[in-house]
Chains A and B, each alone.
Chain A
Amino acid sequence: MPDYGHDLTFGTFITPTNAAPAKVVELAKTTEAAGLDLATFQDHPYQAGFLDTWTLLSYVAAQTERISLSANVINLPLRPPAVLARAAASLDLLSGGRFELGLGAGAFWDAIAAMGGPRRTAGESITALSEGIDIIRGLWDTSTRERLVVDGTFYQVDGAKRGPAPAHDIQIWLGALKPRMLRLIGRKADGWLPSLAYIKELSDLTASNTTIDEAAIAAGRTPGDVRRLLNIGGAFSTQRSDRLLAGPPEQWAEQLSDLTLEYGFSSYILSGDDAQAMMILGQEVAPAVRELVRAERGADETDATPAVGL
């Protein structure tokens, strides 16, 4: 099942360097001006050279009007899930439903521990992430008055009040490459957010999709419940090349529509902090990809609506 039929969105991956905060905010505004859909920032709270991602997301949300915002991705070990859930709901309420939650299990354990955070094995970190998702979704869910109890190994809540509910169904996207995380995505998440730079062979993507799809089906969901997002990098030039995302906008459009039709990706998030490239992505590449994909999907599917998580 290569193409999951999600609507296409395009965004940016902006380095949150604190040396020139105004430039970072400016790039988010450029994202909006370029007609893109989403601005994202990496989250490494142990990295003293970066702005705090949560603060930045909130500040930038106040300074923009239309784009969605997400971390790419939140460092869960340093951001306890119960407060995170309320913070996310609050940002979604303040921004009128413009927030999505990219989450990560944590990777740089020395640095996390140096900040007073926990040190977890890969397996533990995935269990913790899964527990964190349960807490976050539980706190967002005000449709029930049932007492919220998550008695996890790493996180516990016991009777914490539910709410506030976010303004829209915030999507939870997980950054991941390995099978265990992919299965967690299939079970519980709304999106898979890998980076193209870390993918060795395109064929690996097919295998990963399959893992996610099978886990989704096993959990009683459908593969379409999981959006596939991709962090991309590249260079625009006048010359076509035989490399991925190194060439003119038309070549980018062809390659991205292939990634959509053959590998199921529907969101492309561009790194590089290059305002000009952002404009080209928004003004030239995005419309062309949408056109190519629409033509391929056929008239009956042109108004494909985004799949909603369970």
Chain B
Amino acid sequence: MRIATAKQSYSSDEALLRTNTQWAWMGILALALLAAPFLLDGYWLYLACLVTINVASATGLNILTGFTGLVSLGQAAFMAVGAYTVAVLQRDVGTPFLFNLLAAGALTAIVGVLVGLPSLRVKGLYLAIATIAASFILHFVFVNWQSLTNGPSGISLEPATFFGAPLTSNFHLYWVFVPITALMVLGAANLFRTRIGRAFIAIRDRDISAEVLGIPLLRYKLLSFAISSFYAGIAGGMWAYFFRVVTPESFPFITSIFFLAAIIVGGMGTILGGIVGAVFMTLVPELLRFLVEWASPFVPNAGTLLSPVRTVVFGALIVGFLVFEPQGMAEIIQRIRRFFHLWPFRK
């Protein structure tokens, strides 16, 4: 029947992965993720877990800042809310792992909505300042609500158990974190195939004409804050299970800037951008560290000389991206993709 085929072709045309090449890349990525924990040793596995957590958080910030155009410097504080939620639930209630993570997401979403309330009136830099203010208020709460947060000394966590299995090592955590983050990234990608994601982008690009199209600005800005903070909360929760101690200093303000830099370097407003940005920001300093260690025997006084160089190089790399590819690494990847699309022997 013709209509049936037409329908099928529309739904496949609306699919996330449309070409065989895309499926192939996804397969390679999945294989790499499956093989990684067996190939990586302790420190690299630790980094893999950290990257996974950061990808989840960066993707969340990208929804808010990259896709909806609402600049937030509250990401670290939102992650802290998630981390504390998990820590307190584990210490005082003993609810299961997944429940705690979801609760962390939900509570952080509520906090995010409250922090987002000024967004109807203020934009850009002013909104960023409002989120900074909220971060400091939250920090104050973490330090001073002693009975709940244990003040500056913070809360230590027992290793989590996942359906009875203890998650004692990074090897275990990896197998839980990676699927969670993968689901979160998939969710974000899905969001932008639907009316809600389109509304976010419309608000970012032209908020006034978005209204004429029937998009109520405040509701959607708050929804974006809610979803983004939900992501931050879950990332923070994973962070708590990973480091097993949460203090008010666990999520310093610089962490918010770290995530903002990640989505800028990776590519604002693209799902891929959040991922590659988080990977870059997490791994490049480590790679540079290895370079420095490797160079140490050849350079006298290496420790004092090279470690500032490392910071400078990292900074220069970020600035380089801003200058030479303001659209971020995702755009570079797209360009390479387009290049191969024109390859003579490809279909």
**Does chain A bind chain B?**
no
Q: Which residues of A contact B (CB under 8 A)?
A: none
Q: Which residues of B contact A (CB under 8 A)?
A: none
